[in-house]
Amino acid sequence: MNSKIVFGNEKVRESFEKLKNSKSEEKQLYDSLVKAFGKLEKNAFSGIRIQKRLVPKEYEQKFGELGCLWKYNLPNAWRLIYSVGKKEVIVLSIILEWLKHKDYEKRFKY
């Protein structure tokens, strides 16, 4: 199912834009995110669904009420966290954040 990529808030969008002109590892992260966004545009459900009981409360505080959360594994142990929503008949992939695997494990209490 095709979707449109949107950011959870302006701060997330600005963080993504800063990666664009960065160097080495951050530039690789930017390129990986762009690829992931392309895949999510083609199929919003291509990630792995996160169990509702594991969703950190801080996400609802930061982004409001979210549906199901999904993670998309990126290279170098990075994780992209997103939600899938609908606006009229458009499916949205709402980008919440990306974080290293260790930080992901802490956030989701694995």
* Residue bearing tokens 């209490």: 109
**pTM for this model (two decimals):** 0.81
Q: What is the pLDDT of residues 69-105, one digit of tens each?
A: 999 999 999 999 999 887 755 677 889 999 999 999 9
The arithmetic mean of pLDDT across residues 8-37, rounded, is 91
Q: What is the pLDDT of residue 62?
A: 87
**What topology is assigned to 3-107 in CATH?**
YaeB-like fold (3.30.2310)
The arithmetic mean of pLDDT across residues 19-28, rounded, is 87
Give 16-79 as a DSSP string.
HHHHHT--HHHHHHHHHHHHHHHHHHH-TT-SEEEPGGGS-HHHHHHH-S---EEEEE-GGGEE
Domain edges within the chain: 3-107
